[in-house]
């Protein structure tokens, strides 16, 4: 039972364009959401997060949008760079309920074409 | 500042053999985790430890045991390896409120 879902397993985008990654969740107890980036042969690294009390969080080229009513979040990368080519995981946790265990999606492979 | 260190990085086992994956963190975090990553499956939680001396099952605990030896170390043991346990294993630790997790480099395990 996948509580965090990432469809469209792979995405190819031209350098300089926008990359948009989508994530849906089913558990209404989740109140904190994170995006992780993973290169081959390395562990995932934290990218950006958002609390359920916000609907947007921006950090440089990365912006995460949260739509609580739709249980949907998205990650925008603008402009995309070749170094952004990686697998991106969406994750969620229920911090306010004392559950800090992260549930991960299956990941999206992003390829940025120079 | 090593963060989260896993050993070994690679391992090949025969079916039925046992082994222990080691994980150590120098971030002074209470929470530690073991995940496995399989193609098309994302990261699935095997076991979780909220603090020294406590462990809880995650999504896929069957075939594994864990030991939280102290605050720094959290080991994962396969008593009798099976080909279905071929995977990449990641150890992680998280900040006190769980707002960020830090991962090791991973252990690529192949069971033949």
Per-residue pLDDT, A101: 79
Tokens describing residue A54: 């916000």
Give per-residue pLDDT as tens, B54-102: 999 998 999 999 999 899 999 999 999 999 999 999 999 988 776 788 9
Per-residue pLDDT, A48: 95
Q: Does residue A97 or residue A35 have the better pLDDT? A: A35
Per-residue pLDDT, B69: 84
CB B110 within 8 A of CB B13: yes
Q: Is A42 on the interface with B (CB under 8 A)?
A: yes
Per-residue pLDDT band for A2 (boundaries 50, 70, 90) equals confident
Residues of chain B found within 8 Å of residue A102, distances taken between Cβ atoms: 33, 45, 94, 98, 101
Long-range contacts of A42-46 (CB under 8 A, 24+ apart): A42/B105, A42/B106, A43/B4, A43/B90, A43/B92, A43/B103, A43/B104, A43/B105, A43/B106, A44/A89, A44/B43, A44/B90, A44/B103, A45/B103, A46/B100, A46/B101, A46/B102
Which of A8, A101, A108 is the mutation pick for testing B, counting most B CBs within 10 A?
A101
CB B101 within 8 A of CB B4: no
Taking phi over 0 as left and psi of -120 to 50 as alpha, with beta for the rest, B71 belongs to alpha
Average pLDDT, chain A: 92
Per-residue pLDDT band for A29 (boundaries 50, 70, 90) equals confident
Give per-residue pLDDT as tens, B10-49: 999 999 999 999 999 999 999 999 999 998 788 999 999 9
Q: Is A1 on the interface with B (CB under 8 A)?
A: no
- In this complex, do A100 and B44 lie within 8 Å of one another by their Cβ atoms? no
Is residue A94 predicted with pLDDT exceeding 70? Answer: yes
Per-residue pLDDT, B1: 57
Of B66, B67, B103, the residue nearest B88 (C-alpha)? B103
CB A74 within 8 A of CB A91: no
Partner-chain residue, chosen from B4, B97, B101, that has the shortest CB–CB distance to A102: B101
Per-residue pLDDT, A9: 75
């Amino acid at each position: 039972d996948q509580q965090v879902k990432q469809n469209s397993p792979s995405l190819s985008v031209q350098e300089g364009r926008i990359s948009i990654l989508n994530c849906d969740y089913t558990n209404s107890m989740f109140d904190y959401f994170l995006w992780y980036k993973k290169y081959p042969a390395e562990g995932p690294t934290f990218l950006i997060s958002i609390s359920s009390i916000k609907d947007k969080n921006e950090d440089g080229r990365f912006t995460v949008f949260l739509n609580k009513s739709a249980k949907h979040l998205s990650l925008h990368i603008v402009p995309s760079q070749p170094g952004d080519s990686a697998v991106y995981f969406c994750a969620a946790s229920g911090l306010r309920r004392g559950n800090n265990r992260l549930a991960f999606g299956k990941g999206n492979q992003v390829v940025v074409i120079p | 500042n090593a963060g989260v260190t896993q050993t070994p990085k690679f391992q090949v086992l025969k079916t039925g053999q046992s082994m222990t994956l080691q994980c150590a963190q120098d971030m002074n975090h209470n929470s530690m985790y073991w995940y496995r990553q399989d193609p098309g499956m994302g990261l699935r939680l095997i076991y979780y430890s909220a603090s020294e001396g406590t462990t809880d099952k995650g999504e896929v605990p069957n075939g594994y045991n864990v030991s939280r030896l102290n605050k720094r170390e959290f080991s994962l043991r396969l008593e009798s390896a099976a080909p279905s346990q071929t995977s990449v294993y990641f150890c992680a630790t998280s900040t006190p409120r769980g707002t960020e997790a830090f991962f090791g480099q991973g252990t690529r395990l192949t069971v033949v």
